[in-house]
Amino acid sequence: MGERQPVSEDIQDALDWARQRLEEMGVFEAQDGLRWAAAHGLVLSVWRNGPIEDAHASRPTSRRKALGDGTMFARNTWLTRQAYDILGSDDRFRLYRLEDLILDRDMIWPGCEGTLTDFGFGFLGEIKKHVKQRIDMFTHFAKQLQPDDFLLFAGAPRIGTHDDHYGMPKWPACVEAAVRRLQGVDEEFSHAWGELMTRIGPAPTAVTEDLEATRTLLLQSPWDLGAESLGWFAWNPILEPPGTAS
């Protein structure tokens, strides 16, 4: 990839700030935490915070399937895992592999019943333009920065957002808390959120029939629970970090 040149003072200051903020989030204490944060930052910038949000917020049509919260949960976590794996590669073209995965119009989304074409019809051109622009931008900085500095740069979009999502430092504690709540042994949670949980309704049978399997899937591959089950978890306080019930 050639010899990297020293970065400008402004970029170095931004990287130092990103390192400090990610450290405050506990990223460096978690196993491969920086790579996970970078994977999240990539997915947020390249995919989640783009035209797909317009499709997500729009009503379905005769041509476009409903892009519900469960489908987005499955898609976002799966892409985060792909980004994490890709960031572990030394391939100079690795980010274009992520672009190809995101823009594949024919692949059935894992855990879902449709493709990018099914869920994004009417927004496909804008999605493609956005993804390619962002991937080109990240590829440019990947050439300029040292490997760890690039992970800091990629992880920066994660700053100010949740540190309790899949792959992030608090996720394992959130999963353990959710399992305890599903078991009915978290009295503080039941007292604080009981009325809301009654309105939300019981968890799908696929979630409750084997809680150990549910724990494993939430930790390792949430998309394998399927969009319907993940739709129950989306915006549900049951996945709140422990100790946050109020």
pLDDT in tens, 75-85: 999 999 999 99
Averaged pLDDT for residues 90-97: 94
Averaged pLDDT for residues 29-43: 95
Residue 2 pLDDT greater than 60, yes or no = no
Domain identity same for 74 and 185: no
Tell me how many domains the chain contains.
2
Closest by CA to 234, choosing from 119, 68, 101, is 68
Q: Is residue 62 part of a domain?
A: yes
Average pLDDT value over all residues in the chain: 93
Q: Crossing angle, helix 171-182 and helix 187-200, to 10 degrees?
A: 80
Residue 70 pLDDT greater than 90, yes or no = yes
Q: Is the pTM for the entire model greater than 0.75?
A: yes
CA distances from 31 to 36, 66, 223 (A): 9, 36, 21
Closest by CA to 71, choosing from 29, 101, 36, 108, is 108
Q: Is residue 53 part of a domain?
A: yes
For residue range 109-147, list pLDDT tens digits in order. 999 999 999 999 999 999 999 999 999 999 999 999 999
Q: Could you list the residue range(s) of the whole structural domain that residue 230 is in?
A: 171-239
For residue range 57-67, list pLDDT tens digits in order. 999 999 999 99
Averaged pLDDT for residues 215-240: 96
d(CA 181, CA 188): 10
Q: Is residue 56 part of a domain?
A: yes
Domain identity same for 153 and 189: no
